[in-house]
Structure 1
Amino acid sequence: MTFSQPPEIPGGLAGLESRVRQDLAWLDLPTCSWVPERSMDGRHVLDVVVVGGGMAGLTASGYLRRYGLLNHVVLDQAPAGQEGPWVTYARMTTLRSPKTLSGPCMGLPGLTFRAWYEARFGTVAWDGLDKIPRQTWMVYLEWLRHVLDLPVRNGVTLTNVARAADGVLALTVVQDGVTETLLCRHLVLATGRDGLGGSYVPPVIAGLPRDYWRHSADPIDFAALKNRRVVVVGAGASAMDNAATALEAGAARVDMVIRRATLPAVNKFTGIGSMGVVQGFVGLPDGWKWRFMDTVLDAQTPPPRPSVLRVSSHPNAFFHLSCPIDRLEMAGNAVRLHTPRGVMETDFIIAATGFCADMSRRPELAAMAPHIRLWKDRFTPAAQDMPSGHVSAELATSPDLGPGFEFLEKVPGSCPWLKYVHCFCFPATLSHGKVSGDIPAISDGAERLARHITRALFVEDRETHYANLVAFDTPELRGDEWRDTPLPAIG
């Protein structure tokens, strides 16, 4: 579908940027850098490295600057303007979130999407906007990076994390074929839905020749699907978006193969969305955390109504419910699907089957992965905590995180430096709630993260800060502001 935007208001963004900078100045932000400089073997040590320059990484960086942690950098492997899913594997027409959410504004009205949109296109355009086009959202995130002057380096891939010394991590990164080592005190993984694993592909599909299938998060040549038969496996938002994109590219037919007997219709977590959930979920007892998330996962998140209509408006789109795949086989140049409802053939399969947290799939995490404590390592849900009636594998393999999103050790003492690595991505949900990946509460999560790192750095450097306290001798009084006088005589 063609992407277009309203005409711009000349000078509108310049005025907003001036206001944002004035607001920051009035708030005296960012605060001055206060962390003692550190070096090791003559090499500079960064206070924080954030991996991931998408929405979560940018918001985390903004809060790190706000708290005076100016000695940090954000790394992203994608070129500038392609961070995150918005213009890569996201194929929806618009975001599903309401346009009025404050999102990654970090508490500043001038940084909201609405302020940016109205400044650029005007209030009439804002009033006429239904949902936010995903490409527009990407442009807005680029503007946040620009107006806050966030320290992002693009085209950089993290390949290894290791301990360099007590309290210092060594990160191996590659840029343009050149390998370098960065030293830092804290590492934030703001790496999105697949941040601790990757795409999940059912074995029945993964066993096919690679030319005949792709995961919905893979690059897909939709033009090559013109006049071909396509099967989309799944019923979520991604399944609908990929099916619609194939149809709009001229696919001969698209069959949606869905295990469930009906599409999920109620978005549970959105229905109870409140600041109570945002701030209170992290304080729930473990059983209640599990109960909330098990209920949400069991109900599943429905695809947006416009996304379903985008598919069903095509006469060559077909929905097959109660239709799991039993087995697949090649039949010449086609794939034959065997299901409880019968047999069908297709030319190409798109697996819209989600993601999994499996750190063994991430070579950069290899040194730490065996030591990271998962929920299954210390918690067994009781019957009342499992409305679904079974132990969720997704919840069981979620990392069990500390109050600052930091990883914890499976065996105490086995890998003490894990506390310096923070999981600020989707797999943190069971520990912290939906504050590390989705738009509504991303600012709340990023501030929680930045406050924890700020506190940790100060506590670790307490001897230096105390020495600075003792040595501080800048007088505020000069001695000439008063004179000593005798007490008045009695009587």
Structure 2
Amino acid sequence: MAFDVQAPLQSAARSLSELDQRVRDDLACLCYPPANWVVPTAGDDHVHDVVVIGGGMCGLVASFALIGAGIPNIRIFDRSPAGFEGPWLTYARMETLRSPKQLVGPAYGMASLTFRAWYVAQFGGDAWAALDKIPRPMWMEYLRWYRRVLDLPVENEVEVTSIRPEGALLRLALSGTGARETSVLTRKVVMATGRDGLGHPSIPDFVSGLPQKFWAHSSHHIDFAALRGKRVVVIGVGASAVDNAAEALEAGAAEVRHLIRRKEMPRINKLMGIGSFGFTAAFPHLDDAKRWKIMNYSLRTQTPAPRGSTLRVSRHPNAYFHFDAAVEKTELEGDEVVVTTSQGKTVRADFLILGTGFGVDPLARKELDGYADKILLWRDRFTPPEDERNADLGKFPYLADDFTFLEREPGQAPWLSRIHSFNSGATASLGKVSGDIPGISEGAAWLAREIAAKFYIENFDRYWQRLLDYDTPELRGDEWSASPLPDDERTAARRQA
């Protein structure tokens, strides 16, 4: 039977308050939250079972999954002010999300938690049918509601500055105006730190000699109003590059020129074409060569900018796309940036925007200072064929099946098995289940199951003792009476004789 994904919801909530109640009813039917089954850790200081770093989409659904798995002794820290977690209202500048509106995202199997249910409750079924793509600010409104209706205890303006081993535990140093203490102890850490959660913005060497006032990465704060009447060069043509070019044009830039090293515009989102439950389930089970082949191919073909974002730029007559024009060097002449391209030609600009994306590099994470070099990377584990070499992909961590880091040299940093990389850094090892909307619920369920299994295995003796000690009877002893077995015919005859 086929279902129309655009069809009105016959039982849809008619207001947000009605949807709130529906969510609460659904959670009650699912017995959420279940009792805490985890054996507590003895000690003078309180020990959390899990600390989740990041209160954006990944952190929220991961925390919901953990609590739903009977692991409520958690803390959730986010360095941003409340309601501004993640990129949606900071450096993300697209008008709408790329993902189709009907994807369930962080709903975790609950229809009442979907964006669709939230949207229809406020605007109705006809508005849903007419909606094309989800406006970016609206997605943040939905995540704020998601956090509120699930009562997830995110602590904002708290930054984790370091993660250090302390015996069998991890001690996290905290800073920020929202921090209630300077450090906390935990058994496990989940780094739900998003797109740049295991690396940093990719800053090419050619801007190293330029003063910061002449350039910015697309993830930086940019004063677009100050670009009015200015000549802007945007490096790259991916989604973030295109969105930033559009912002500059709409702010009144005199001209915006894309400098693109590729010979033509990427047009096909390859991974979207093979996305399925089977791909998500199978990817971590593929051998290294197959996983590398898929990810390398995806990175090399590049995900194109969305059609709407590209049209948002090209509709301006003062927007230009220059292909086969890689940047060779930049120089400053007075207040003018001179860019030399691979064609031997120069472009003059007042400001550069680097749409060069993010790099995955555990060595760049200050939380892991002192031992990041002990993390096993893909380049340590796998040597690809010559035609599939990719230095950037080689920097991805080679993760265990539970999202944890592995040691480059066994025995050098055993505590790495307590840190779960639930962010974009997990992509090469486990697939796209810990950063993007389509697979985030599957990833969170997987993460919670693995953490629960580790807790049980680590304290098996305690759980075995619980089994031995359990003595609550289901029967009271008054439900039956003992009866003697009846005599068979031979026994009766012998007695009579």
Same fold judged by TM-score > 0.5?
yes
Spell out the pairing of 1:398-417 with structure 2 (5 A cutoff): 398-417=396-415
The within-5 A match list for 1:172-251 is 172-176=173-177, 180-251=182-253
Instruction: Give the aligned partner of residue 5 of structure 1.
Output: none
Confirm or deny that 1:470 pairs with 2:471.
no
CA distance in 2, matches of 1:201, 1:262: 23
Equivalence for 1:128: 130
Say whether residues 1:352 and 2:355 are aligned partners.
yes
Contact 1:91 1:238 in 2 (8 A): yes
What does residue range 396-435 of structure 1 map to in structure 2 within 5 Å?
396-435=394-433
Cα deviation, residue 490, structure 1:
2.1
Whether the aligned pair in 1 keeps the contact of 2:13 and 2:120 (CA below 8 Å) is no
1:382 & 1:336 partners in 2: Cα distance? 38
How many residues in Structure 1 have an aligned counterpart in Structure 2? Answer: 476
Report the counterpart of residue 479 of structure 1 in structure 2: 477
Q: Quick one: distance in 2 between partners of 1:116 and 1:305?
A: 26
Residue equivalent to 1:95: 97
Aligned to 1:25: 28
Matches within 5 A, 1:30-429: 30-40=33-43, 42-166=44-168, 168-176=169-177, 180-339=182-341, 340=343, 342-382=345-385, 389-429=387-427
The CA deviation string for residues 465-491 of structure 1, in whole angstroms up to 9 with x for no partner, is 111111111111111111111111222
Q: Which runs of 5+ in 2 are unaligned?
A: 1-11, 490-497
Runs of 4+ in structure 1 deviating by more than 4 angstroms, as ranges, are none
Q: Map Cα deviations across residues 175-208 of structure 1 (whole Å, 9 max, x no partner).
A: 3286611111110001111111210111002321
Provide, for residues 10-50 of structure 1, a one-character-per-residue CA deviation record: whole Å limited to 9, x for no partner.
9701111111111111111222111122242x111001001
Contact 1:162 1:367 in 2 (8 A): no
TM-score (norm 2): 0.94
State the shift of 1:409 in Å.
0.5
Letter in 2 for 1:284: L
Structure number with greater Rg is 2
Q: CA deviation at 1:113?
A: 0.4
SS at match of 1:207: coil
Report the RMSD for the aligned CA atoms in angstroms: 1.4
Distance 2:308 2:170 in 1: 46
2-side partners of 1:272 and 1:214: how far apart? 35
Q: Contact conserved, 1:287 with 1:382, CA < 8 A, in 2?
A: no
2: CA distance between counterparts of 1:381 and 1:363? 29
TM-score by length of 1: 0.95
Determine the C-alpha separation between the residues in 2 that align with 1:283 and 1:148: 33
Aligned mates of 1:218, 1:295 — CA distance in 2: 28
